[in-house]
Structure 1
Amino acid sequence: MRLSPLVLVFGLAASSLAVPGVSQRPDDQLTPKSVALVKQGEASAAAGRYAEADDAFETALAVDPRNRAAFVAMARVAAKQKLYGQAIRFTNKALSLEPTDRSALAVQGQAMVEIGAAGRAKEVLAKLQTVCAGACPEATTLSAAIARGPTMAAAKPAEKAKTKTN
């Protein structure tokens, strides 16, 4: 009976000690299989096989959900397919893992330009310029895209004119 409080105190102290995880990896170490799948997906995307590329990127994320490159690559594929909202969602996931990812910011900004959100794209450009100490190609490309404006909006009046004449 006298030892009960003492045992309880030692039990609480022992249970509050941190136990190191044996199988935990640092955040910057990705599974080699996931990295290989991203490379495979990038090759498929370069060849124009977007469905294969998406499959490879999704598998890479299933293997290692911390693979930012897979999210950014999926965003690029979505943008090529003119799925700009989906591209923004994928870049948001990449930016939740690393808020200063220059390639994710650039893809996100260009997708925002394409949907006509120039104000938001300028905010992304400002963030990108703070991330880049000096001039960087991502900021230059995004700045040019903002100056050019959305290509999607330019195509719509031309399509309307064609349908009116027919």
Structure 2
Amino acid sequence: MRFSPAVVALSLVFATVSSASFGQSADIEIKPRSIEYMQMGEAAQKRGELDLAADLYETSLVVDPRNGSAFIALAQIARVQELPGKAIRLYREALILDPNNLDAWRGRARP
């Protein structure tokens, strides 16, 4: 069976377009309520209330599971609590949502 150059080119374009849809687009809007919980979590984290902050970040994820920032914030708390395995898993979740998330890549690279 012979393939024309046009068929080969179209198949490559289709393969590229279909594989590009696996990551989260950076322009996806996060629900405002999720952002509110993130802000409350950041305030709690700054006060040193890590358990409360983690609860608020987790609530943010319940409201909108696409909130990659919440995964990163939880990973940072896990690092402070000396839970590197949990931190890596959380950074990986953020990367599943957005493979180009530099904060998640930096977090995974830290020892």
With the length of structure 2 as denominator, give the TM-score of the two structures.
0.74
Partner of 2:53: 53
Higher relative contact order (CA 8 A, sep 6+): 2
Question: Identity over the aligned pairs, expressed in percent?
Answer: 38
User: Letter of the aligned partner of 1:48 in structure 2?
Assistant: G
Alignment of 1:119-134 (within 5 A): none
Structure 2 residues not aligned, in runs of 5+: 1-25
Higher radius of gyration, 1 or 2: 1
Give the CA deviation at 1:43.
Answer: 1.2
Q: Deviations over 1:65-101 (max 9, x none)?
A: 0000000000001101111110000000000000110
1:78 aligned partner:
78
Which residue in the other structure is 1:102 paired with?
102
CA distance in 2 between counterparts of 1:105 and 1:47 reads: 26
Structure 1 CA distance, aligned partners of 2:46 and 2:98? 25
Summarize the alignment of residues 8-157 of structure 1 with structure 2, pairs less than 5 Å apart: 28-110=28-110, 113=111
1:27 is displaced (CA, Å) by 6.2
Cross-structure match for 2:11: none
Whether the 8 Å CA contact 1:27–1:66 is kept in 2: the answer is no
- Aligned to 1:28, what secondary structure does the other structure show? coil
Tell me the matched-pair count.
Answer: 86
How many Å apart are 1:42 and its aligned residue? 1.2
Q: CA RMSD in A?
A: 1.4
**Partners of 1:60 and 1:70 within 8 A in 2:** yes
1:137-157: per-residue Cα shift (whole Å, max 9, x none)? xxxxxxxxxxxxxxxxxxxxx
AA in 2 matched with 1:79: R
Distance 2:27 2:96 in 1: 13
Instruction: Measure the CA separation in 1 of the matches of 2:93 and 2:27.
Output: 15
Query: Could you state the TM-score of these two structures normalised by the residue count of structure 1?
Result: 0.50
Structure 1 runs, 4 residues or longer, greater than 6 Å off:
none
Whole-Å separation in 1 of the counterparts to 2:107 and 2:45: 15
Question: Which segments of 5 or more consecutive residues in structure 1 lack a partner in the other structure?
Answer: 1-25, 114-166
Cα distance in 2 for residues equivalent to 1:96 and 1:71: 11
Q: Aligned AA for 1:66?
A: R
